[in-house]
Every structure is written in C-alpha cells, then in structure tokens.
Structure 1
Amino acid sequence: MASRTDPLTQEVVELIGAVVARYYEEYEQAAAKHSLTGAQARVLGLLSHEPMPMRRIAKKLKCEPSNVTGIVDRLEVRGLAERRPDPVDRRVKLAAATEKGQETAARLRGSLDFAREPLAGLTELERAVLRDLLKRMLGIEPG
C-alpha cells in the first residue's frame, strides 16, 4: 500500500486537484453562457436525470437543503425546473427539470469540452481502466 506521503502519491493528489480545478473553471464558464451559476447548473444537471427531493439534492451536492430550495426557486422562475408531488408519498415535493430545463442541461453538457477532448486521446481500454480506478477510489464497485 502506498504511503500518504510518498512522492508519487503526492503527485497524483496534485494532478487530481488540477483536474478538478480545471473542470470547475470550465463548468462555471459554461454555466455563465446559459445565464446560470455553477450551483444552478449542477442542480439542473441532477434534475435532468431524474426528479428528486430537495434533501437528496443537498446530500449529493453536500450542502444545506435551504440552499437547494433557493436554487430550485430561481430555476423555477426561469422555467427550467418545477416542483411536483412525489407519486409514492404525496407529502414530499420533488424538484424536476422541465422540458426547457432538459434542453438547457443537454446544451450545457454538450459544451463541456475540457474532459472530453483529452479523454478522446486515450484508447477505449485506457478510458475503461481510468473509469474503474476512479470508481475504486470513490468506493464504487466497477461493473
């Protein structure tokens, strides 16, 4: 097992930090092109996959539910999201992307070239290995 202080581990940690910083920088720029904050774009991205309660959004984004409420309010005003009752438990409200929100989220994803371009330079096998290593680092079972 690698030591937390060995030079290779330190280099990998620094490289991961650089990748994350570049990703967030490009994500913020892409969001701004759609007149969204980075936080609004991340919430819209989550909602474009499936409707979910505020608490689950907050847990995924590691923030307070009250922050998510404000973000969803602003997305709702722009017609990008809506609240609807949970069909399983009508006491719970789900936030969901509207059709316009789905389209905006798709355009936003399509404009993120930072990772896509360098990944295209890797073979399919290299991308699969990278994916599996990242999943392993996150404690997600590959498969």
Structure 2
Amino acid sequence: MSSPQKISRQISRPDELTMEVVELIGDVVARFYADYEEAAGEHRLTGAQARLLNLLSLEPLPMRKLAQKLKCEPSNVTGIVDRLEARGLVERRPDPADRRVKLAAATDEGRGVSLDLREGLRFAREPLAGLSDEERLTLRDLLRRMLGAQD
C-alpha cells in the first residue's frame, strides 16, 4: 500500500496534457518577448521602455502604479520615464485629483510610436493569421478565462 505522502504527490502532479500546454505557453511567451524586444529596438527603445510607453499610451499613470504594473522598483521607472521624456515620448503632469502626485503620460508622438510598435509585432500577427475569426475568439476567451478576466 502507498503512503499518504506518495499518493498526495501523485494526485497533485499535472498530467501530460497540462504539462504540454504549460510548455507551449512558455514558448509563446518567449517568442512574444523576443519579437517585442526586436520591435522596440527598431524604435531605439529597450523592451522596458516600450512596455512602459505602451502602458502610458492607454492612460496616464503615477510612477508607483507603473512600477507595480512593470513589477520593478519605482526608482527604475523614474529612470525609464526620464529617458522617454528626453526623447519627447512621455511627459510628466500633475494628477488632477492630487496635485502632489505626478503622472507620466505619453505624448502624441509617444502614442504614435507605441501604436507603430504594436502594429510591427510579427509574432502577434503571423500565427494568429492562420486561425479563423472563430478560433481567435475562442483563444481570446480561453486566455481571459485562464487569467480570470471579466468581460
């Protein structure tokens, strides 16, 4: 008879299909980041600068929130914003809700670069082009479900 610990390990181990899906997700993430870094480089940006610019193209954010979203220290975000601001892609402005807080916001030029960067991602387009609209909707819905996102 098996010990309770051995049975517990057997039950909690993922099955082969789950492991294959996990590996495929890892491969997708790696390819996405490699393509993102390449696209960023074409705009003389680092991957971190491109990701920050993308976030700011959606809405102005305080430094602390940017650091949380990028999962890095606020001091790193300050340096990234400084470099993007020097290029005219980002600006700092007071938060209308609390003038003591500074928001970082993409400039018109920054939003244009961010859009161009996203449109230039080959990985995002090429594999998805081989899927039908229905398959892409299904994939989107499954990914949202995995992430716990609400419609």
Q: Which runs of 5+ in 1 are unaligned?
A: none
Which is worse superposed, 99-108 or 18-27? Answer: 99-108
Partner of 2:114: 105
Counterpart in 1 of 2:123?
114
Q: CA deviation at 1:3?
A: 5.7
The answer to whether the Cα contact below 8 Å between 1:30 and 1:112 also exists between their aligned partners in 2 is yes
What are structure 2's unaligned runs of at least 5 residues?
A: 1-10
Q: Map 1:77-116; keep pairs closer than 5 Å.
A: 77-116=86-125
- TM-score, normalization: structure 1? 0.94
Deviation for aligned residue 1:4: 4.4
Structure 2 residue 66 is the aligned partner of structure 1 residue 50:
no
Residues 69-80 of structure 1: pairs in structure 2 closer than 5 A: 69-80=78-89
What one-letter code is carried by the residue in structure 2 that aligns with 1:38?
A: G
Deviation at 1:107, TM superposition (A): 1.0
- Partners of 1:3 and 1:9 within 8 A in 2: no
1:5 aligns with 2:14: yes
Q: Give me the CA root mean square deviation.
A: 1.3
The percent of aligned pairs where both chains have the same amino acid is 70
Deviation at 1:132, TM superposition (A): 1.1
Larger radius of gyration: 2
Match for 1:19 among 2, 11, 28?
28
TM-score (norm 2): 0.89
* Number of residue pairs aligned between Structure 1 and Structure 2: 141
Say which structure is richer in helix: 2
Runs of 4+ deviating beyond 6 Å:
none
